[in-house]
Amino acid sequence: MNLIRKILNQSSTQDDREFYDGMQRLLKFSPKQLEFYQKAFTHRSLKKVDKNGEPYNYERLEFVGDAMLGSVIASYLFIKAPNQSEGYLTQMRSKIVSREHLNELGKDLNLISFVKSNIPKNNIGDNIHGNIFEALIGAIYLDRGYDYCSKFIYDKVIVPYVDIPKLEGKITSYKGLIIEWCQKNKKKYFIDTYEDTGNETVKHFSVKIKIDDIQIAKGRATSKKKAEEQASKRVYFTFQKQIENS
């Protein structure tokens, strides 16, 4: 039994001991400073403050984790794709660290189970999964340094998820793809986004997309971006053969 675990057994609460054990199983190594990880899973709704009276939650650690994740992925791509341009490397990194992909990673690791919040977890929003994943990486870096952080990213991100040939064909923004295709082929593109909440308590947005003055697709979601991507994806499948052959 390591020293940290002995100290926890002697002086900490049952919750602390259970959290430590959970982190150890997740990380495959022993945390040294448990408070970093506790902050990584603390939602701002708790309004927690440290011993100096300063508020804390996962958001500052998310900033650190985002930088570390980008750095490790950039280094990996630089080595694995030695003959590719800066633009290619940037695009590939963006696909790996996209919000959608990070949310998937967070869900796969069930990180939400560690989150402490005053808001029901199913009401926080999907981005919490990716945000917490980045915060966890930030906590690892501050607690154990670059080598541990890099190994965690390699084991949890690169080995199971990074397949360069597949990523090359992955679409990260249907809206961007459709706009680019329209510009390239001199087609008129028009998107109309408007609030469409109706009788629902949660705000919704609707989208209509026209190409050459013909309405092609609609979308509706709880954010403008999601609604636009939903409609753009439908446009993509309508013109998939033309887009792929252009």
Catalytic-residue membership of 35: no
How is residue 1 written in tokens? 């039994």
Q: How far is CA 153 from CA 131, 143, 162, 184, in A?
A: 15, 15, 11, 38
Q: Distance between CA 20 and CA 36 in Å, rounded?
A: 11
Please report how the helices 224-238 and 174-184 are oriented relative to each other, as an axis angle in degrees rounded to 10. 50
Catalytic-residue membership of 66: yes
State whether residue 5 is helix, strand or coil: helix
Beta strands 205-211; 214-221: pairing state: antiparallel
Per the residue annotation, which of 66, 143, 228, 229 is the catalytic one?
Answer: 66
Whether 204 and 221 have beta carbons less than 8 Å apart is answered as yes
Per the residue annotation, which of 18, 50, 108, 134 is the catalytic one?
Answer: 134
Looking at the annotation, which residues are catalytic? Answer: 66, 134
